[in-house]
């Protein structure tokens, strides 16, 4: 039975949000005849070669020299010289560039807080992903993710969600400066670069990207319905401009905002387009900026290490410091409905601003970040109080072997929630520590073992504390 999503209030695991984007794409391994580790240090986390490849629109520098399965030409490049009297040349992948990622999750309750001690989500996700290039100036990405999640640790829900994007590269000006994404945007940019969901080692997303404003309990508030602000840092539908150089990259986007389904909600439809917003005139906006010292350039240009013998010899190494900034501003419609049928609607204007750092040195990666948020009126006519939020994280990972990467992460979320709203627990503050180890059983098969211990707010995410997660990921 599918639960109407409005009935599910603050029960789904915060942080166990639906995965947003698959970034381990074996179709590129087939195209280039190369291993996953060319682009990934531990999939889906990309190394800097992979990041340059992605930014360049799924192309390497000197790309055609690496291609083992050449694309099918839609016209020879010579036709470009005849334009406008001929079609501009293009190409399509020689075989359909489809990748499949399967994820199998076992959850084991260590402290007896769940009804079921052991839960099989086999599979937890099946992802069908297609991505590639269309000639020199276009690329595309799309995915269908079939999801199976445990809701409130008792109900298993499943649905499918879709994303699709077309990118136009070098639309004007100097090389790499202005590129345009159309469709599902923000996959790589709605977050701080040191802690992007798509580069996550963990089985859980970063809390600073996935938390949403706590909802009001209908039964305790006496309301017939309440629609709060569904915002979290997740991909949305819109337009995004981005550019990059050797040491910097930026992105700025306009998105629908006010998404129909929050990242921690179960949709009331079996199939959804991720990040689709309500039809309205207002749009949300965001911008991000990253700067890198040392290591390989964002554009794949060479390391500043003058002696090649001192350069990093391993695929995961990239001695560097990356600083990242993100800002988001938007509005969401708040709606309350009382049992007698009267309704109230109004806008909650909100913004987020954050900064993060990532330092990589040989086999060690450490990262930390902070995001501040402000909501003008997230509870509509239930409270006129503003809500400030503080989310932070710090994490470290270490390559013991090329295939074994233990990691630890601390995350905290502090919300200044109003105390006078019926049906709202004003204390949603949480602090948690995550310990895990990721093992690359093969270059395209990963096993992740992880547990999370709450030091504050265990009851907010009841059942999450002291739960062992074992995730098997297979990409083909």
Chain residues in the site for other proteins (CB under 8 A): 62, 64-65, 67, 70, 72-79, 81-82, 86-87, 89
Q: For residues 171 and 161, what is the distance between their CA atoms, to the nearest angstrom?
A: 30
| Least distance from other proteins to the Cβ atom of residue 56, Å | 16
Q: Who's near 281: CB < 8 A, 6+ residues apart?
A: none
| Least distance from other proteins to the Cβ atom of residue 93, Å | 14
| Least distance from other proteins to the Cβ atom of residue 127, Å | 32
| Least distance from other proteins to the Cβ atom of residue 75, Å | 4
Q: State how beta strands 271-273 and 155-168 pair.
A: parallel
Q: Which is nearer to other proteins, 77 or 117 (CB)?
A: 77
Q: Which is nearer to other proteins, 74 or 106 (CB)?
A: 74
Q: Which is nearer to other proteins, 86 or 364 (CB)?
A: 86
| Least distance from other proteins to the Cβ atom of residue 48, Å | 21
DSSP letter (8 states) at residue 193? G
Q: Which is nearer to other proteins, 1 or 78 (CB)?
A: 78
Q: Which is nearer to other proteins, 77 or 115 (CB)?
A: 77
| Least distance from other proteins to the Cβ atom of residue 91, Å | 8
| Least distance from other proteins to the Cβ atom of residue 78, Å | 4
Question: Are residues 184 and 22 in contact, defined by beta-carbon separation less than 8 angstroms?
Answer: no
Question: Are residues 79 and 89 in contact, defined by beta-carbon separation less than 8 angstroms?
Answer: yes
| Least distance from other proteins to the Cβ atom of residue 30, Å | 17
Q: Look up residue 138 and give its two tokens.
A: 């276009």
CA 19 to chain centre: 7
Q: Give DSSP secondary structure letters for 196-214.
A: -GGG--SSS--HHHH--PP
Q: Look up residue 38 and give its two tokens.
A: 């060319």
Q: For residues 341 and 291, what is the distance between their CA atoms, to the nearest angstrom?
A: 52
Q: Which residues pair with 398 in a beta bridge?
A: 364
| Least distance from other proteins to the Cβ atom of residue 33, Å | 12
Element (H, E) at 90: none
Q: For residues 126 and 162, what is the distance between their CA atoms, to the nearest angstrom?
A: 12
Q: Which is nearer to other proteins, 132 or 330 (CB)?
A: 132
Q: Which is nearer to other proteins, 85 or 219 (CB)?
A: 85
Q: Which is nearer to other proteins, 79 or 414 (CB)?
A: 79
Region of 298 on the Ramachandran plot (φ > 0 left; ψ -120 to 50 alpha; else beta): alpha
Q: Who's near 113: CB < 8 A, 6+ residues apart?
A: 462, 463, 465, 466
| Least distance from other proteins to the Cβ atom of residue 408, Å | 42
CA 387 to chain centre: 24
Tokens 């990409």 appear where? 475
Q: Which is nearer to other proteins, 28 or 60 (CB)?
A: 60
- Closest to 39 in 3D by CA, of 29, 49, 30, 25: 49
Q: Which is nearer to other proteins, 89 or 320 (CB)?
A: 89
Q: Which is nearer to other proteins, 67 or 433 (CB)?
A: 67
Q: Look up residue 469 and give its two tokens.
A: 């997660």
b/e sequence 206-229, b meaning 16+ C-beta within 10 Å: bbbbbbbbbbbbbeebebeebbbb
Q: Give DSSP secondary structure letters for 223-266.
A: EEEEE-----S--EEEEEEEEE-SSEEEEEEEE--SBSS-TTS-
| Least distance from other proteins to the Cβ atom of residue 447, Å | 37
């Amino acid at each position: 039975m599918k639960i109407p999503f409005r009935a599910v209030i603050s029960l789904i695991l915060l942080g166990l949000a639906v995965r947003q984007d698959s970034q381990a794409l074996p179709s590129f391994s087939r195209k280039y005849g190369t291993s996953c580790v060319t682009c990934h240090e531990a999939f889906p986390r990309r190394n800097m070669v992979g990041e340059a490849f992605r930014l360049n629109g799924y192309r390497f520098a000197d790309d055609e020299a690496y291609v083992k399965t050449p694309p099918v030409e839609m016209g020879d490049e010579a036709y470009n010289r005849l334009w406008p009297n001929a079609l501009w040349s293009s190409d399509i992948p020689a075989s359909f560039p489809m990748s499949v990622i399967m994820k199998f999750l076992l959850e084991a309750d260590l402290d007896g807080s769940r009804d079921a001690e052991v839960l099989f989500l086999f599979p937890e996700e099946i992802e069908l992903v297609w991505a590639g290039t269309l000639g020199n100036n276009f690329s595309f990405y799309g995915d269908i993710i079939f999801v199976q999640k445990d809701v409130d640790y008792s109900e298993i829900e499943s649905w499918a969600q879709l994303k699709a994007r077309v990118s136009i590269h070098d639309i004007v000006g100097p090389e790499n400066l202005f590129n345009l994404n159309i469709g599902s945007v923000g996959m790589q940019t709605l977050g701080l670069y040191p802690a992007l969901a798509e580069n996550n080692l963990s089985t859980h997303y970063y809390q600073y990207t996935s938390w949403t404003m706590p909802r009001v309990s209908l039964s305790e508030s006496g309301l017939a319905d309440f629609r709060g602000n569904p915002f979290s840092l997740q991909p949305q539908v819109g337009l995004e401009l981005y550019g990059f150089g050797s040491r910097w990259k930026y992105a700025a986007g306009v998105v629908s905002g006010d998404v129909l389904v929050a990242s921690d909600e179960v949709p009331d439809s079996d199939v959804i387009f991720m990040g689709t917003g309500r039809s309205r005139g207002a749009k949300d906006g965001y911008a991000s900026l990253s700067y890198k010292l040392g290591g390989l350039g964002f554009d794949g240009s060479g390391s500043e290490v003058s002696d090649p013998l001192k350069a990093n010899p391993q695929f995961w190494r990239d001695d560097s410091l990356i600083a990242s900034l993100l800002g988001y501003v938007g509005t969401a419609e708040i709606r309350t409905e009382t049992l007698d049928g009267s309704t109230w609607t109004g806008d909650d204007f909100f913004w987020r601003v954050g900064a993060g750092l990532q330092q990589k040195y040989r086999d060690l990666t450490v990262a930390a970040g902070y995001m501040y948020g402000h909501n003008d009126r997230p509870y509509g006519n239930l409270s006129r109080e503003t809500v400030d939020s503080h989310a932070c994280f710090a994490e470290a990972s270490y390559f013991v072997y090329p295939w074994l990467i233990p990691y630890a992460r601390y995350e905290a979320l502090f919300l200044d929630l109003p105390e006078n709203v019926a049906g709202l627990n004003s204390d949603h503050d949480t602090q948690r520590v995550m310990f895990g180890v990721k093992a690359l059983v093969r270059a395209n098969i990963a096993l992740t073992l992880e547990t999370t211990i709450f030091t504050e707010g265990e009851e907010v995410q009841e059942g999450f504390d002291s739960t062992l997660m074992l995730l098997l990921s297979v990409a083909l």
